[in-house]
Amino acid sequence: MKIGFDVSQTGSSKAGCGYVADALITALTRMDMENTYLLYPFFGGDFRDPDALKTTRQIDRRGVRRIPIGRSAEEGRRFWAEMTPDKEAALGRPDIIHANNFFCPTGLSHARLVYTLHDISFLRHPEFTTEENRLVCFGGVFKAAMHADAIIAVSDYSRRSFLDVFPHYPADKIAVVHLGSRFTPDAPADPPPDMARRFRPWGFWLSVGTLEPRKNLRRMLQGYAEHQQAVKEPLPLVLAGGKGWMEDDLEAYIHQLGLGGDVVPLGYVSDAALAWLYRNCYAFVYPSLYEGFGLPVLEAMSLGAAVVTSSVTSLPEVGGEAALYVDPLDTSDIARAFSALAHDGGLRERLKARALVQAEKFSWEQSAARTLAVYRQLMEGVRPLP
Amino acid sequence: MALIAVDLTPMMPGGENGGVKILTLELLRAFQREAEGDRFLLLTASWNHDELAPFEGPGMTRLMVMEKERTGAAMLDRLPGRAARLVRRLAAVLRRRTPRAMAPRRRLLSSRGVDLLFCPFTAPNYFEPGIATVAVIHDMQHKDYPQFFPQKEIDIRNVFMADVRAKASRIICISEHVRESVVRHLQADPDRTHVVYNCIQTRLGADIPREERDAAMADLGIHRWPYMFYPANFWPHKNHRMLLTAYGIYRHRHPSRAVDLVLTGALEAEERLLKQAVDRMGIREQVHFLGFLPEATLDMVWQGAAFLVFPSLYEGFGIPVLEAMSLGKPVLCSNVTSLPEVAGDAALFFDPRKPEEMAAAMERVAGDAALAETLSARGRDRADLFRAERMVAGYLNVFREALGTPPAYDNAVSGVFEDGWTGEEVSVTFGAGPEEGRRIDITLAAPADIPGGRRRIAAVMGGRTLFKSRLARGETRVFSVPISGAPGEIALWISPTFQPAECGMGPDNRRLGLQCRTCDLIAPGSEKISLWKGA
């Protein structure tokens, strides 16, 4: 079978969805030598990466081909607006198209459509995103609800939420495939010199994620400030994550809280730096308001970090028994978690040990195998009449 | 006593103009009833002259000033409905004519003794210096939701909004929401902008005998009522996909008791997508697509409604909300843009981005008769605030103010796109200044690669031709025009114009004339004022 796969967001400045696509296609093409994979560096008319041709995932293996269609924004919009048999031919006539970044093609006549559902936060908390982004996400998920032959939800939480909003969608066509961590605890871990120079191992708190309102950074900072007042020598708080949206004045807010010297925004960091940070943080703090999965939690655990995260949405599904949970809306609760860990080294050690055990329940190999099973099931089934 | 010209040329047959047409016709009816002493000259076009015949009477006459064009039609056919609607609204800005044919237009109003030009469709196409101009702005959606418009349409809207700003003595906004947007985005003088609310439609609420209604409903394929109703074209800001999503949730929760959903309006591609969705959702029997309806049928469909659901993401006003209130139908509507201002305390609001919240609102009003009764009563009370007399008085007041103050124009150039290309007409307006020694310098260039031969340019000021000239391809020239101290306008007509898309020059299908490099207002003893600095 020929599998067409959206790699459009796997370029150099990838965030959540891009990491997922990147890790999944890498694992799939490593594990599955039988099928052909067609990679699409341009997919849909929105979310265009101008460097897609150069920086998106390339896989050098027999049976893997890149098909760049829709290079200009104009051409992209026109090509992806509505599929036709000619367009499917131009895409290499795939048997399956796996859309994984919100955009959902329609009008497919040969290919079956698999759609990765990340989350529906934009339907419950539209205030967390820009209107432009919300429209793109909703457009994609709405079309998927009408046209996807199978949906892969990244968590049971996302699956249930989707079915709440689209109760008509056949529940048996939506599978849960968890994500994996791209870090492994036994990988060589040379400290990148700039990080090691700036931060003492176990001498800093860490939080990770694109700077956007959904990540609840402001309440975390308030909780941190509250905790800080009660301790003599507080550890600094390191923020790793690229600029997102609606948090442009975050630095001003940090100063307003009087945390200028203690909070260190690093911006977008390399994988090596991120791994070092996860491994060497005192604890990883991630009180997000809404997640479809919560990849940073798993990544932190896979490198043995003690994790504080929210008790809401998909996060308990990922953190299991291994995280310290907080109410993300309650800044005092967040402050208490900082303090509990700071004062109780034993708690920290227990969380670190459990983290590694919990992380072992997830892997990209396992995710790829489940994804492949969805493809196979779909190909064996009879295509439902439109 | 004034003679008021009303530019109706952008009005299209059918429902293409949306609420703007409804408002305009309502205004004309109200002017007939209420505007004692004033006379109205309706400027019509071949495609609406007959439709406007019923308005002909004492104090109101028609004058056909535009005929169907051959060149434009092909282009309009290729544009999606919404784009076509706006481009048609702009037909006069984009049309192709020779300077000779255009020149008399500048005396169209003054030669007939017109005192004021009223532009209910916004663009001041028939502007003449010295005659007060009042334009209505219905929305600034292209600023808040640019993603709903093709880039070209945004360019065009920017051009004609700038034109309004420069030329209109007064701007009427149909809500405070629009007025704020106009002041913010256009930097329009707040003292020249006014809010006049739309009024309740007199077109609805007829007594329809029961048998007649039942038969007509059956013809429409409706066998169960009451239902929830959403009258809106399938434009993206109308948010139909979210409505269907919410309706699916509501229906799922109340499989046996849920009321049907009735939609009117048209737009082919999106309607196809929505119908497909309804099929996939298994609610084909419960969701009715009635298309564009004539007024009498619409009235009947309104009467069969249990309540209005209005999930729009953007409104300048929201006429259906008024319609529902006046008919005593409960209103469920979005809590954004102008809608809270219009619906006041007489609606159940929801966030139009949250389908579950919308579904809960449907549930509440469908299941709670007391709530429905309260909303209905409040709606009727509130509708009283939007009586036609109030609206007409508001418009006539603004007309009086415009007539009572000498026209003041911005120092501005309009008819030039952001990239420096002109349309076929460039208009330079200027305010009052010193009597001696003022001039306008405008630099025009004919790029060497434009199709066609030399460009002819004619300049007209106050109905008088200033000069005619030619510009060869590859040539750039400064045209210098002396002006007096009075405020006024110079219009330049350029011919021929071309559409790059039709000449194999890419997707651009604007109609273009020349490149405008600079335009300056020069007065002795003061710094030159740059009206256009080039792209």
Nearest CA-CA distance, residue A311 and chain B, Å: 22
Amino acid residing at B315: E
Q: Are residues A301 and A165 in the same domain?
A: no
Q: Closest Cα partner for A19 from A268, A216, A194?
A: A268
Report the pLDDT value the prediction gives residue A382, as an integer from 0 to 100.
Answer: 54
Structure confidence by residue, pLDDT tens digits, B6-16: 999 999 988 77
**Cβ–Cβ below 8 Å for B248 and A142:** no
Structure confidence by residue, pLDDT tens digits, B283-303: 999 999 999 888 888 989 999
**Cβ–Cβ below 8 Å for B281 and A146:** yes
Report the pLDDT value the prediction gives residue B78, as an integer from 0 to 100.
Answer: 38
Topology (CATH) of B409-535: Jelly Rolls (2.60.120)
The mean pLDDT value for B191-209 works out to: 85
Q: Mention every residue, 6+ apart, whose C-beta is less than 8 A from residue A27.
A: A180, A364, A365, A367, A368
Q: Are residues A22 and A138 in the same domain?
A: yes
At residue B202, the 3 state secondary structure works out as: coil
Chain A partners of B147 at a C-beta cutoff of 8 Å?
Answer: 132, 135
Give the CATH architecture of domain B210-385.
Answer: 3-Layer(aba) Sandwich (3.40)
Q: How far apart are CA B141 and CA B239, in angstroms?
A: 14
Percentage of chain B exceeding pLDDT 70 = 92
Average pLDDT, chain B: 88
Instruction: List the CATH number of the domain containing A159.
Output: 3.40.50.2000
Crossing angle of helices B81-89 and B70-78, in 10° steps, is 150
Report the pLDDT value the prediction gives residue B14, as an integer from 0 to 100.
Answer: 80
**Cβ–Cβ below 8 Å for B245 and A124:** no
Are B520 and B441 in contact, with CB atoms under 8 Å apart? yes
Predicted confidence band of residue A113 (pLDDT cuts 50, 70, 90): very high
Predicted confidence band of residue A385 (pLDDT cuts 50, 70, 90): very low
Predicted confidence band of residue B105 (pLDDT cuts 50, 70, 90): low
Enclosing domain of residue A228: 193-359
Report the pLDDT value the prediction gives residue A153, as an integer from 0 to 100.
Answer: 98
Predicted confidence band of residue A192 (pLDDT cuts 50, 70, 90): confident
How many domains are there within chain A? 2
Predicted confidence band of residue B70 (pLDDT cuts 50, 70, 90): very low
Report the pLDDT value the prediction gives residue A195, as an integer from 0 to 100.
Answer: 79
Chain B partners of A78 at a C-beta cutoff of 8 Å?
Answer: none
Predicted confidence band of residue B414 (pLDDT cuts 50, 70, 90): confident
Q: How far apart are CA A87 and CA A327, in angstroms?
A: 49
Are B123 and B90 in contact, with CB atoms under 8 Å apart? yes
Question: Would residue A187 count as lying in a domain?
Answer: no
Q: Are residues A204 and A173 in the same domain?
A: no
Q: How far apart are CA A328 and CA A330, in angstroms?
A: 6
C-alpha B471 chain-centroid distance: 35
Please count the residue pairs, one from chain A and one from chain B, whose beta carbons lie less than 8 angstroms apart.
49
Q: Are residues A376 and A330 in the same domain?
A: no
Classify domain B1-199+387-406 by CATH number: 3.40.50.2000
Structure confidence by residue, pLDDT tens digits, A241-268: 888 877 888 889 999 999 988 999 998 8
Predicted confidence band of residue B81 (pLDDT cuts 50, 70, 90): very low
**Cβ–Cβ below 8 Å for A122 and B353:** yes
Chain A interface includes B102 (CB < 8 A): no
Higher pLDDT, B206 or B135: B135
Q: Are residues A145 and A243 in the same domain?
A: no
What is the per-residue DSSP string for A178-206?
----S--TTS--PPPHHHHHHS-TT-SEE
The H-or-E segment that residue B466 falls in is: strand B464-471
Question: Would residue A386 count as lying in a domain?
Answer: no
Q: Is the pLDDT of residue B267 over 80?
A: no
Higher pLDDT, B400 or A14: B400
Closest Cβ opposite residue A167 in set B248, B273, B354: B248
Strands (E), B71-226: 116-119, 132-137, 170-173, 193-195
Chain A interface includes B280 (CB < 8 A): yes
Question: Would residue A188 count as lying in a domain?
Answer: no
Q: Is the pLDDT of residue B88 over 50?
A: no
Chain B interface includes A73 (CB < 8 A): no
| Least reliable range by pLDDT among A263-277, B94-108, B478-492 | B94-108
Structure confidence by residue, pLDDT tens digits, B430-470: 988 898 899 999 999 999 988 888 899 999 887 788 899 99
Looking at the DSSP bridge assignments, the partners of residue A3 are: A37, A96
Q: Are residues A239 and A106 in the same domain?
A: no
Chain A interface includes B354 (CB < 8 A): yes
DSSP 8-state symbol, B328 = T
Question: Would residue A228 count as lying in a domain?
Answer: yes
Structure confidence by residue, pLDDT tens digits, B352-395: 999 999 999 999 999 999 999 999 999 999 998 898 889 999 99
Chain B interface includes A199 (CB < 8 A): no
Q: Are residues A226 and A109 in the same domain?
A: no
**Cβ–Cβ below 8 Å for A165 and B145:** no
| Least reliable range by pLDDT among A153-167, A237-251, B234-248 | A237-251
Report the pLDDT value the prediction gives residue A197, as an integer from 0 to 100.
Answer: 83
| Least reliable range by pLDDT among A265-269, B255-259, B507-511 | B507-511
Predicted confidence band of residue B106 (pLDDT cuts 50, 70, 90): low
Chain A interface includes B284 (CB < 8 A): no
* Domain span(s) for CATH 2.60.120.260 in chain B: 409-535
For an interface test with B, give the residue of A168, A173, A385 to mutate (most B CBs within 10 A).
A168
**Cβ–Cβ below 8 Å for B353 and A123:** yes
At residue B395, the 3 state secondary structure works out as: helix
Chain B interface includes A19 (CB < 8 A): no
- Between positions 207 and 236 of B, the ones with CB within 8 A of A are 236
Chain B partners of A139 at a C-beta cutoff of 8 Å?
Answer: 241
**Cβ–Cβ below 8 Å for A165 and B241:** no
Question: Would residue A104 count as lying in a domain?
Answer: yes
Q: Is the pLDDT of residue B96 over 60?
A: no
Q: Are residues A176 and A197 in the same domain?
A: no
Q: Is the pLDDT of residue B535 over 80?
A: no
Q: Which residue of B has its CA nearest to A77?
A: B150
For an interface test with A, give the residue of B144, B147, B241 to mutate (most A CBs within 10 A).
B241
Chain B interface includes A139 (CB < 8 A): yes
φ/ψ bin of B342: left (φ > 0), alpha (ψ from -120 to 50), beta (otherwise): alpha
Q: Which residue of B has its CA nearest to A139?
A: B241
The mean pLDDT value for A163-186 works out to: 93
Q: Are residues A21 and A158 in the same domain?
A: yes
Chain A interface includes B488 (CB < 8 A): no
Closest Cβ opposite residue A146 in set B252, B277, B351: B277
Q: Are residues A26 and A159 in the same domain?
A: yes
* Domain span(s) for CATH 3.40.50.2000 in chain B: 1-199+387-406, 210-385
Chain B interface includes A131 (CB < 8 A): yes
Burial of residue B40 (number of CB atoms within 10 Å: 0-12, 13-18, 19+): buried
Report the pLDDT value the prediction gives residue B125, as an integer from 0 to 100.
Answer: 86
Chain A interface includes B272 (CB < 8 A): no
Q: Are residues A245 and A261 in the same domain?
A: yes
Predicted confidence band of residue A310 (pLDDT cuts 50, 70, 90): very high
Report the pLDDT value the prediction gives residue B94, as an integer from 0 to 100.
Answer: 35
Structure confidence by residue, pLDDT tens digits, A22-47: 999 999 999 999 999 999 999 987 77
Q: Is the pLDDT of residue B74 over 70?
A: no
Torsion of CA B272, B273, B279, B280, to 10 degrees: 160
Q: Which residue of A has its CA nearest to B506?
A: A74
Structure confidence by residue, pLDDT tens digits, A47-94: 777 788 888 888 888 999 999 987 777 788 889 988 999 999 999 999
Question: Would residue A186 count as lying in a domain?
Answer: no
The ipTM estimated for the assembled molecules is: 0.92
Chain B partners of A147 at a C-beta cutoff of 8 Å?
Answer: 280
Question: Would residue A89 count as lying in a domain?
Answer: yes
Report the pLDDT value the prediction gives residue B287, as an integer from 0 to 100.
Answer: 97
Q: Is the pLDDT of residue A284 over 50?
A: yes
Q: Are residues A155 and A219 in the same domain?
A: no
Crossing angle of helices B240-253 and B355-367, in 10° steps, is 50
Q: How far apart are CA A235 and CA B431, in angstroms?
A: 64
Chain A interface includes B248 (CB < 8 A): yes
Average pLDDT, chain A: 92
Tokens representing B84 are 């076509």
Predicted confidence band of residue B208 (pLDDT cuts 50, 70, 90): confident
Question: Would residue A281 count as lying in a domain?
Answer: yes
Structure confidence by residue, pLDDT tens digits, B23-58: 899 899 989 988 788 999 999 999 999 999 999 998
Higher pLDDT, B22 or A144: A144
Alpha-carbon separation of residue A144 from A207, A375, B280 (angstroms):
33, 16, 11
